[in-house]
Structure 1
Amino acid sequence: METKKYSSYAQIDRELEILKIEKEISYQKLVFGVKKTKESFTPQNIVSDLIGSYSAAIPYGALVSTAVPFLLNKAVPFVKNWFAKRKRGV
């Protein structure tokens, strides 16, 4: 990489401002990527991805890959509520 030569402080300030903005953009991309990765690690997504990858090998794979995420979306909150009520003794 070639060393840049500046003729004024204004050019240096402009270059520093550009680098600062590029750094902020890179940071925001990283934050967004972490957020999307975090969102993808839900039990429903993990199971649906697992079922989706094996849907060709299982009989009625398309039906199973459609039904399992739907059932998990309904069953997980039900089981959570059941455990919560059970702990309280209701």
Structure 2
Amino acid sequence: MSKHYSSYDQINADLEILKLEKEIHKQHILLSVEKTKETLQPKNLFQEALTSYKKVFSNSYVRILQLAIPYVIDWLIHKKRGN
């Protein structure tokens, strides 16, 4: 879709807008690169892994107990009987 201009001022205004948009996109890319560098630092990788580990096991803690308790009770019953 082509745009028709009636003056050089309109062309210059659009060029200025495009220049600013280009600079915004460039800064966005640079910020993304910096965030990626920061995320890939060993300290941050360790913290992210620890956070993920906590999230996985905190959500499944009740389920683990529900699975483990019958085995513990069964083991205690057999231990008491001497089996």
How far has the Cα of 1:38 moved from its partner?
Answer: 0.5
1:54 aligns with 53
AA in 1 matched with 2:21: E
Residues 19-49 of structure 1: per-residue CA shift (max 9 Å, x gap):
0011001101110111111011111111111
In the superposition, the TM-score normalised over structure 2's length comes to 0.62
Structure 1 unmatched ranges of 5 or more:
59-90
Aligned residue runs from structure 1 range 41-80, under 5 A: 41-55=40-54, 56-57=56-57
Equivalent-residue separation in structure 1 for 2:41 and 2:14 (angstroms): 42
2:62 aligns with none
Equivalent-residue separation in structure 1 for 2:19 and 2:57 (angstroms): 51
Larger RCO: 1 or 2 (CA < 8 Å, sep 6+): 1
Runs of 4+ in 1 over 3 A off after TM superposition: none
Equivalent-residue separation in structure 2 for 1:32 and 1:51 (angstroms): 25
AA in 1 matched with 2:12: D
The alignment covers a number of residue pairs equal to: 57
In the superposition, the TM-score normalised over structure 1's length comes to 0.58
Which protein is richer in helix relative to its size?
2
